[in-house]
Amino acid sequence: MSGEQPDFYFNPWDEAFKVNPYPHYKALHSGPPRMINLMAPIALIGKYDDAIRVLTDHDTFTGVKPDIPWINQQFEIFRGAPILQNSDPPVHTRLRRVISKAFTPRMIASMEPHIQQVTDELFDAANARGELEVMADIANALPVIVIAEILGVPRDESDGVLRYLYEHMENPLFQCRFRWRPHSIAFWDNRTTHHRALWDYYPNVRSGFRIQIQGTKPPVAA
């Protein structure tokens, strides 16, 4: 499940790689895109010009998700409705037009002073603590705060939402991993438990079914 090649290594599940992936990016920046297999064929693109072509050459590249069972399962919640990040023109154009009114250049420019203020506050808080973790303190926090304000959620509540998500994801009681064996069956409550790894089943495919259990009496064997 990793992109191990003679001169290239990419494995997002390797703890050492996650801590410092940057040396491995040099091959992407200096060479062609790399094809790897992470439960599905994936092309890694590291050059700006290549990325621009992928994003704009709709005759050659597509944003529509591949027809792979485990990926299809993740999109069942949308019940077949098109979504912006997985559609091509003209569907993408129509969806983008709907939301673009909230993100016009004038609207974004008007938000810039406040976004800068929030950014300064986050850096000031990190300075007061004497340490800075870029992902947790800036990269994750800033978008949550700004998007929450766009949606009308107060700042103190957005901080609480982000804190709750971190605590929920880090709590072992709300996480589960599963060592797959042939004909295995696993149950977990999606309301309280996060199943962390679809790749627990790789190269097999997880068949997921939602059920609702009602009542308070324990089941009786037939």
* Ramachandran quadrant class, 27 (left: phi over 0; alpha: psi -120 to 50; beta: rest): alpha
**CA-atom Rg of the chain in angstroms:** 22
The model's pLDDT over 139-168, given as tens digits with 9 standing for 90+, comes to: 988 988 888 888 788 877 777 777 777 776
Structure tokens at 28: 């992407």
**Threshold 0.75, pTM exceeds:** no
Q: pLDDT grade, residue 203 (50/70/90)?
A: low
- Average pLDDT of every residue of the chain: 77
Question: Distance between CA atoms of 29 and 46, rounded to whole angstroms?
Answer: 5
The model's pLDDT over 106-148, given as tens digits with 9 standing for 90+, comes to: 888 898 999 999 999 999 999 999 999 998 889 988 988 888 8
| Residue 1, pLDDT above cutoff 50 | no
Average pLDDT in the 79-86 region? 79
Structure tokens at 79: 């019940």
Question: Distance between CA atoms of 200 and 205, rounded to whole angstroms?
Answer: 10
Question: Distance between CA atoms of 46 and 28, rounded to whole angstroms?
Answer: 5
User: Is the preceding peptide bond at 90 cis, omega within 30 degrees of 0?
Assistant: yes
